[in-house]
Amino acid sequence: MTKQISFNAFEMNCIAHQSPGLWRHPSDRSTEYKDIEYWTDLAKILEKGLFDGIFIADVLGIYDVYHQSAEHALTGAVQVPVNDPLQIVPAMAAVTQHLGFGVTTSISFEHPYPFARRISTLDHLTKGRVGWNIVTSYLESGSKNLGLSAQLNHDDRYEVADEYLEVLYKLWEGSWEDGAVLRDKHAGRFADHTKVHPILHEGQYFKVPGIHICEPSPQRTPVLYQAGASTRGQKFASQNAECIFIAPPSKIAAKKIVQSIRQKLREEGRDPYSVKIYTLLSIVTGETDQKADAKFKEYQSYGSYDGALTLVSGWSGVDFSQYQAKDRVEYIETNAIQSMLDAYVNADPDRIWTIEEIAQWNSVGGNGPVIVGSAQTVADELQHWIEETDVDGFNLAYILAHQTFIDVVDFIVPELQRRGVYQTEYGHGTLREKLFGHGPHLAENHRGAKYRQGTKNKFAHAS
Amino acid sequence: MTKQISFNAFEMNCIAHQSPGLWRHPSDRSTEYKDIEYWTDLAKILEKGLFDGIFIADVLGIYDVYHQSAEHALTGAVQVPVNDPLQIVPAMAAVTQHLGFGVTTSISFEHPYPFARRISTLDHLTKGRVGWNIVTSYLESGSKNLGLSAQLNHDDRYEVADEYLEVLYKLWEGSWEDGAVLRDKHAGRFADHTKVHPILHEGQYFKVPGIHICEPSPQRTPVLYQAGASTRGQKFASQNAECIFIAPPSKIAAKKIVQSIRQKLREEGRDPYSVKIYTLLSIVTGETDQKADAKFKEYQSYGSYDGALTLVSGWSGVDFSQYQAKDRVEYIETNAIQSMLDAYVNADPDRIWTIEEIAQWNSVGGNGPVIVGSAQTVADELQHWIEETDVDGFNLAYILAHQTFIDVVDFIVPELQRRGVYQTEYGHGTLREKLFGHGPHLAENHRGAKYRQGTKNKFAHAS
């Protein structure tokens, strides 16, 4: 039997998230991102399509590397303005029963103590449907506005992240024992205070003496997502993540990353398949291949060259305005552009990419590939992806809000269900139980589990 | 014509907010505080009763002064656990059209840059129904968990608060000019970037060079609430607040505070009636005075002596466990207990309060008075309050969630409407327009207005 396929929706509280320029299309709704109905409508579409969840990206900063200016970002609405990702979740939760919510937050931007409360509150309100995408850095333009003079260097960032997670695990897993909450109206005892423990955390970066201010939420620790692609990032992910998002441009590149992630999990003593890996994709579909192709061509005509290079410049830190449209990527010093451009080169070693082609690639569906065709064609290709790369599912970016997701739900989901590779109803319980068939809490061999039912002594010994 | 009367609901994302012990009553729902339905049900009740808004208090810390322990707070669910106040608002907004939302946040707990985004997001999602209750300090037990070794001293706190507000006004009022957002699909221009300004803030406590990351929300600056009672707090409020919450135990005490607030407003060059003052109250009502009295006695039987003194100890910083139930307040060194106990003494100079009486007072409806009686009796007394104290409305604490508010909506609102002193439909527009009849933005002579449509020069000269 072919492996089951899972869908996540990839969103952000902004306009034309991964498809710069497409907001100009008459049918695109993403300029309504600031309205509550935009999100409640979307949540209902995704739940109808039995999506695992919606994954909400975030960037608290402006893409101002391209032309060393914010002009193109502002004129073209390239991920700016961008609203808070957290607050759209309670509204979506109010109109759904099963859909999961992955919220992105950087550990640089809030102290772990109030952050722990935010996530516990959300897990309560959603009855255990929350995931957290752990981000360790942000755009330089964002950190400046918080008075952080420079980003921590890459490896130090993970030192802080390790301790940040430790504080959270102590609060979420250890502070309130199972059975601490009695809720006994008759006896007048809400909690057994002997089972509620101050975490007494004194670390290098944080001092948190107190108890968690929230009672345990359904999942305690939210489902943990990560998207780090660097070696250090993969180590961090292999210790903490339960879901990993990747964004390679091709199956060849995806296969390498997936192998590396599963190997790291083995090295950490975790089942390599205890983590779900979702890869970024977009889908353009219709009744026939021809109709889908025509749709795609029309979408491409709305893509923005400047918008795409605004994103690519921000992601890579390199001002692409210094290159001409016909310049070939092989002539760019790729080591200065981090791993991103390498991925394009590796994706298809025989292809010579021009700047223009990279811009076009990124202007529709972001840096992930776009699969175009009828339901049969797309389903075939999705199955090829699953078989050849060993990913567990797809993180689907939209091209047109919400039409892309409506098309996926109307065309692709039924086809995959017919093939027996897509769920026909939601599983029971919390997001973690739906994803992994166990829970609602972290698996016993997860790093966070050792902080459970803590006593003062246990905390002192745990590391 | 008698002055119009306004109602606010006083809530907190916790159990038995102002009535410690009452969660043990079989009809109380406040133990459901963590569920989304608790809040959506409440929002619908309040909107049916044409309440101005719901004011959500917050304390990120534990009441651990009483017996110098968290035991009574945890056992009796005395404002702990307490979830994040912000996230219940989008859920309530999704099921209402008019109700306002006042959210409490301390300036100590988040940098103004991401905080500005949170509030702008909420104002967008609610279509302009957001208020912010500005808090400058918190429980010591809370600040410790953020690694703040000691609270700033009282006056310094307001220096920080002044600059915090300055940063927010620059972001909310000045960064995006009116007309900066074009949303022009046809021309492909989302914004006119020449009308979006970096705020270039370099102050004593904060450095924020960038633009506001959100486009202007309906109100830009949310309706500003304040509850500071000290002299410095009143000055801060008179410069910033549009609504002020007070909590005196009697009409005599209320009258003095209101006079002082309106005088401070005059001194700041503002119309003394440009600020709405709400005073804390609870209402117990029923078909007849007798039925209301019986209800009140039953409620009182669920009040908790230890729970009330846990609150009073936390508010005052004095461990009340050192006193006996029959001890008289006049024997306590009131100057060590800040202004709180003075208020009891001033409330009725001839009355000798015992510790037990203070506990009983605070165990039902918090430190505000409780008005008990039929709709006629209560309406009479509310009108006396308005006439004798010059307040604009009432911040109503519940005794039983949600029964207290259901009773107010069923009995008191129709009686006040019959007398022509309560609105019979909501006004138009944003919260600010509903409250003041003008808006949606800050009044021209408000401190925040001078930061409008800022240019670099303007910011450099504004103070």
pLDDT of residue B153: 67
Contact predicate A332/A341, CB 8 Å = yes
pLDDT of residue A156: 81
For B90, which of A91, A185, A193 is closest by C-beta distance?
A91
Residues of B in contact with A183 (CB under 8 A): 31
pLDDT of residue B140: 67
pLDDT of residue B97: 97
Please report whether residue A335 resides in a domain: no
Residues of A in contact with B81 (CB under 8 A): 213-215
Contact predicate A316/A338, CB 8 Å = yes
Instruction: Assess whether pLDDT exceeds 50 at residue B462.
Output: no
In 3D space, the residue among A449, A227, A248, A275 whose CA is nearest the CA of residue A368 turns out to be A248
Could you tell me the residue range of the domain that residue B420 belongs to? Answer: 6-299+369-462
pLDDT of residue B229: 65
Please report whether residue B161 resides in a domain: yes
What is the CATH number for A119?
A: 3.20.20.30
Contact predicate B442/B173, CB 8 Å = yes
Please report whether residue A32 resides in a domain: yes
| pLDDT tens column, B424-435 | 999 999 999 999
Residues in chain B: 463
pTM value is: 0.94
Rounded to whole angstroms, how far apart are CA atoms A183 and B363? 19
Please report whether residue B252 resides in a domain: yes
E strand or H helix at A216, and its extent?
none
Please report whether residue B356 resides in a domain: no
> In this structure, which amino acid lies at residue A4?
Q
pLDDT of residue B25: 97
Task: Write down the ipTM of this complex.
Answer: 0.94
Rounded to whole angstroms, how far apart are CA atoms B188 and B250? 61
Indicate which of B145, B175, B176, B212 best probes the interface with A, i.e. most A CBs within 10 Å of its own CB.
B145
For A60, which of B60, B62, B114 is closest by C-beta distance?
B114
Please report whether residue B347 resides in a domain: no
Residues of B in contact with A213 (CB under 8 A): 60-62, 80-82
Instruction: Assess whether pLDDT exceeds 70 at residue B381.
Output: yes
Residue carrying structure tokens 């009773």: B407
Q: Nearest-CA distance from A419 to chain B in Å?
A: 37
Search chain A and give the residue with CA nearest B81: A214
The pLDDT tens digits along chain A (463 residues) read 568 999 999 999 999 999 999 999 999 999 999 999 999 999 999 999 999 999 999 988 899 999 999 999 999 999 999 999 999 999 999 999 999 999 999 888 889 999 999 999 999 999 999 999 998 875 666 677 877 655 566 668 888 899 999 999 999 999 999 999 999 999 999 999 999 999 999 999 999 999 999 999 999 999 999 986 677 788 888 889 999 999 888 898 899 999 999 999 999 889 999 999 999 999 999 999 999 999 999 999 999 999 999 998 988 888 999 999 998 876 665 544 545 565 665 566 677 788 898 899 899 988 889 999 999 999 999 999 999 999 999 999 999 999 999 999 999 999 999 999 999 999 999 999 999 999 999 999 899 999 997 544 444 433 3
pLDDT of residue B299: 97
Retrieve residue B56's tokens. 């959500």
> What average pLDDT does this structure show over B11-37?
97
Indicate which of B23, B40, B83, B123 best probes the interface with A, i.e. most A CBs within 10 Å of its own CB.
B83
Please report whether residue A456 resides in a domain: yes
> What average pLDDT does this structure show over B43-51?
98
Number of separate domains in chain B: 1
CB-based burial label for B62 (10 Å; 0-12, 13-18, 19+): buried
pLDDT of residue B261: 92
**What average pLDDT does chain B have?**
90
pLDDT bucket at B339, cuts 50 / 70 / 90: low
Search chain A and give the residue with CA nearest B140: A210
Please report whether residue B349 resides in a domain: no
> What average pLDDT does this structure show over B121-139?
91
Retrieve residue A201's tokens. 């955390």
Q: How many CA atoms lie within 13 A of B344 on its CB side?
A: 25
pLDDT bucket at B459, cuts 50 / 70 / 90: very low
Q: Confirm or deny that B230 is annotated as ligand binding.
A: yes
pLDDT of residue A345: 58
In 3D space, the residue among B91, B3, B7, B87 whose CA is nearest the CA of residue B48 turns out to be B7
- How many other C-beta atoms lie within 10 A of the C-beta of residue A436? 17
In 3D space, the residue among B152, B153, B216 whose CA is nearest the CA of residue B181 turns out to be B216
Instruction: Assess whether pLDDT exceeds 80 at residue B166.
Output: yes
